Structure 1
């Protein structure tokens, strides 16, 4: 075993004298073990088979962000689902985590900890901070690169060992496997996961496939954060467009959440985006009903083909811990109080205000579809 905490340093024990591994930083090592639990052994077997059926690794698009905090015992604990799509969304989540910690401290009668946590939360309202130490504990916005496996039949769907159906519309109630997990590159993994990690760590964006600054950041990260940890997979919807599969949703924590999101798109968003009347909506509504009645990972509706796709997430590690946002990552938002101040200075209504004259026709149509879906869900709950 190593005498390191997973945040850097070199291997302290476990190798023979003169072992080259003694000179390799712990965060760069990939440890392999034999899974002992039946579920873990099944997952390792499925991962090995996936290398054969879906051998091509591809970028799944934009990165995801989450909030982590350093642990005394080594590694970094994930505080949420790690599904934020922009750095500022994760910063907002960090501020919310500080407020929850402040409330717990006040409930416990620890006014000093309460004041420290509230001070940190208020800073997050105004400043775009990716790391902050509160009560001696480092908190950080971390970044995960996303990948999918693909084969002759397209992107890989969920595997049998992934979370099963929870019932139509109930995906949001399923537990998130990412929240509370520990990111520690020192921890050993099964052989298949170790091979996947090694494969992903060597991937760098190809010239011409992304803007130059994105590629430069990708190459730089391979040097500054050469280690890595795999998060539990997430799931998104892909749509077949002109012979190619393209992302059609953000990531979801479980396959059923992704199916619920697809059903919502079929009932609400696609009819709104394509301005469909009741007759043109019917095929999409019927497809959503089929998906609710018989959960599936692939579906056709209105001439479109959809699939629930499995997404791997890799957090790169360096000597100071997990990688944070890169300069080239889109970050269009500003802290909430900065946004409010700008609106006041411009004398503009905030998000809660109505535009002069009320909502436009498109907004009214979307609201109508949304309220119709809410009524349907309430009726299901009553039954």
Structure 2
């Protein structure tokens, strides 16, 4: 491979660094540098996440659907939703041709596994981001003081998603610490023997085909310490530290008692722990011999000459498009077409118990919200 330097380096392979131009940005860069000392290890944090991006005429790719999908099909479904929104706009504007084009595109996503489409002259793509977490002797890195955390407990879902509308453009300059982190993450590939061969092969291939990268805003999740090691939750992540705390609190009040089949008396320590989490807004919690932590997660989108990396062949993608799934269920007799949409849904005992726990938590949150009002 020819060595690239100076003006011959393509934009997608450049890492542009500049001095922060605002006090908050300067503080964030300092905190990022300190994190390198306290949390020197960089580890993979679960599987990749997927979002939808749109190519811009002026350069770069705009995020139109956040990187929250845990499988490529999640993002394909979001892409279909984007086309339906465009169809509604075209209908309001009286543009019949645009409406027809958008509806056709949306219907195609219902039936086909398609990761890129051109609609109304713009390219849309399902893009992939890898997740990483810093770790050190104290375990995984928690949220930093400069990470925005505006929501009150139980209401993080009201926080605006700062990721949507951002532009993925490797030419955009970053601070020194973020630039170094980007270089470190781009150098990481899956280790031989640690993952199946096809996963490692895809990782090595991506380093060649998409050698550049852009860091997305940090997200937050939870981890639990088991047998001396911290195990990140493989579920989706939150856009703020409070979002991760709210997810953990929901787990303590609903999901853990349901999974363990706890009685009201046995649930009490978990309920009390969730109350402490809401009151203290801390990042670590111990309950019933278990230890939980809110962790900070970095995400990197790899970039190549044609833009952001899409799904890899080895990425888990268990669900087919929605109409294919519907057809399969009908062929299996799971859906017959005779269902009465107004008929009450009968739940088995275990599912009913989960519904009751969710209802109880919803009532508690509503009362708490009214009290704040």
Q: TM-score, normalised by structure 1?
A: 0.92
Match of 2:241 among 249, 255, 261: 255
Residues 81, 253 of structure 1: 8 Å contact kept: no
Match status 1:344 vs 2:339: no
CA distance in 2 between partners of 1:108 and 1:377 (Å): 41
Match status 1:369 vs 2:357: yes
Residue 223 of structure 2 aligns to a residue whose secondary structure is strand
**Structure 1: runs of 5+ lacking an equivalent:** 1-18
Residues 143, 325 of structure 1: 8 Å contact kept: yes
Cα distance, 1:114 vs structure 2: 1.6
Deviates more, 1:372-381 or 1:220-229: 372-381
Match of 2:110 among 125, 138, 151: 125
Which residue in the other structure is 1:318 paired with? 304
Cα distance, 1:350 vs structure 2: 8.2
Cα distance, 1:110 vs structure 2: 2.2
Match of 1:379 among 343, 363, 367: 367
Cα distance, 1:353 vs structure 2: 8.4
RMSD: 1.9
Which residue in the other structure is 2:56 paired with? 71
Cα distance, 1:151 vs structure 2: 0.9
Cα distance, 1:111 vs structure 2: 2.2
CA distance in 1 between partners of 2:241 and 2:27 (Å): 18
Residues 150, 159 of structure 2: 8 Å contact kept: no
CA distance in 2 between partners of 1:114 and 1:303 (Å): 57
Match of 1:230 among 201, 215, 237: 215
For residues 62-103 of structure 1, give each alpha carbon's deviation from its aligned partner in whole angstroms, at most 9, with x where no partner exists. 000000000111000001221110000000000001111111
Match status 1:327 vs 2:313: yes
Which residue in the other structure is 1:107 paired with? 92
Residues 128, 335 of structure 1: 8 Å contact kept: yes
For residues 7-66 of structure 1, give each alpha carbon's deviation from its aligned partner in whole angstroms, at most 9, with x where no partner exists. xxxxxxxxxxxx932222210111111110111111111111111111110110100000
CA distance in 1 between partners of 2:239 and 2:151 (Å): 13
Structure 1 residues 274 and 237 mapped into 2: Cα distance closer, same or farther (>3 Å)? same
* Count of residue pairs brought into register by the alignment: 365
CA distance in 2 between partners of 1:76 and 1:187 (Å): 12
CA distance in 1 between partners of 2:132 and 2:5 (Å): 31
**Structure 2: runs of 5+ lacking an equivalent:** none
CA distance in 2 between partners of 1:120 and 1:140 (Å): 13
Residues 164, 255 of structure 1: 8 Å contact kept: yes
For residues 107-137 of structure 1, give each alpha carbon's deviation from its aligned partner in whole angstroms, at most 9, with x where no partner exists. 2222222221111111111111000000110
Match of 2:202 among 217, 230, 234: 217
Match status 1:291 vs 2:270: no
CA distance in 2 between partners of 1:296 and 1:100 (Å): 39
Residues 99, 121 of structure 1: 8 Å contact kept: yes
Match status 1:61 vs 2:46: yes
For residues 244-267 of structure 1, give each alpha carbon's deviation from its aligned partner in whole angstroms, at most 9, with x where no partner exists. 100224211111111110010000
Deviates more, 1:141-150 or 1:249-258: 249-258
Match status 1:199 vs 2:184: yes
Which residue in the other structure is 1:280 paired with? 266
CA distance in 2 between partners of 1:137 and 1:216 (Å): 31
